[in-house]
Chains A and B, each alone.
Chain A
């Protein structure tokens, strides 16, 4: 059904607002910059906004539903990114035609994309209802995004259980919106608290970063430029790990403590 080396990756979380779409956009750009051909598929047909994050909203002519209905060819519906032409977006269709979409439709779209691209990233809607099931039907592997909050972890756990029962493998974890200082003070779930419960290989840790909001509103993912912000670097590392590079994961809450103690040491030696 798919070409031998295409990777169909579902990006999901269960809970809304934890950063699925942001991760999809940044990961797509980062992978494209690293020389891969990437398609991002917005499977959130009801509340699509992957096009906004990529700054491609005004270039959409056809959608996935037009491809399914046969009104256009896949090439016509794909929107190439301005700066990263190896990245293409397949936009979600008209929200009013929601009931058209079935798991088989998603599999057909994914198969079409898999013929042309090395990576197909599927941006999953929140929740575990039909939208999730449709999106998951098309995927072969998954990245679960969660934040260090009890409710997000609980929902992620539920989603992982469903993915396991649907045979999606491997499932990896991205821990998003980490606040190192809160983790260090034990005001937030720690990295091990989360991985203890979810028991998934950690693909990346992304720090809470104001620049994410700025870039979202501008429609320019952080990974577009040379990554200077913590979140931008983290997304880039997620992309590298996804391609198989061994990039070590540093826990910012413990690293920071190390840095602070080193600074303190430095200061005391300077003073005396």
Chain B
């Protein structure tokens, strides 16, 4: 996974630069340079404080200082380092930066090192006006009727008819999917993408799932694999 930069949600709040997993042993500085290079094509110029997410990379003090210098030239100021490797944290602390561990909550992007999120099981039909929200995945054993809404940070699974609204990956997990025995929702949302439900009649006896492909939600025959298994 390549490094990527996310702008701060509110001006004044730090932007976030994720170095990504340590694949192919790209050097951290190269990863940062790549991410900044990618920025040149966007119209918005990012300046101000920045939080660096190092994941399991172990960075030495000179490496971190070099990254800080590279960011400085771009107008970005390194203020915080988030890492799971102890030596990176020690180096960051030595530079006088704020240090933190990765959040215990399941990070978006459903990366493999995170355990599958916990599952909420609802053994009832969600009727109009009912709203269910979960930080993990949701399995509804029953229908989701028009007017009801089920949202989850993980997957939304309906053993029944989904005719209300469903939002999977509400915290930004683009790999989250919505599966139902009969998928005819009023509206579907996966991560930040919204789609109207299909108008035509569902194929009889075929469970379907909605997944995010690029920027659009696609409906296809449900995968026989249990999505929460590794």
Contact = CB atoms under 8 A, between A and B. Distances in A.
Contact of A155 (B125, B128, B130, B161): B128
Contact of A154 (B124, B126, B146): B146
B140 to A, nearest CB: 14
A158 B147 contact: yes
Size category of the binding interface on chain A? 10 to 19
A201 interface: no
Nearest to B129: A158
B163 interface: yes
Interface in B156-174: 161, 163
A164 B127 CA distance: 10
Instruction: Give chain B's interface secondary structure class.
Output: loop
A220 interface: no
A196 B184 CA distance: 13
A139 interface: no
Contacts of A197: 143, 145-146, 163
Complex A-B, nearest 4 residue pairs according to Cβ-Cβ distance, in ascending order: A161-B127, A157-B128, A158-B128, A158-B129
Contact of B147 (A157, A164, A196, A199): A157
A197 B145 CA distance: 7
A196 B143 CA distance: 10
A178 interface: no
Nearest to A155: B128
A252 B163 CA distance: 27
Interface string B119-140: 0000011111110000000000
Contacts of A161: 126-130
A154 B143 contact: no
Given A158-B127, A160-B127, 19 more contacts: A154-B128, A157-B127, A157-B129, A157-B146, A157-B147, A158-B128, A158-B129, A158-B147, A161-B126, A161-B127, A161-B128, A161-B129, A161-B130, A196-B161, A197-B143, A197-B146, A197-B163, A199-B125, A199-B143
Interface string A157-181: 1101100100000000000000000
14 contacts: A155-B128, A157-B128, A157-B146, A158-B129, A160-B127, A161-B126, A161-B127, A161-B130, A164-B124, A196-B161, A197-B143, A197-B145, A199-B125, A199-B143
Contacts of A160: 127
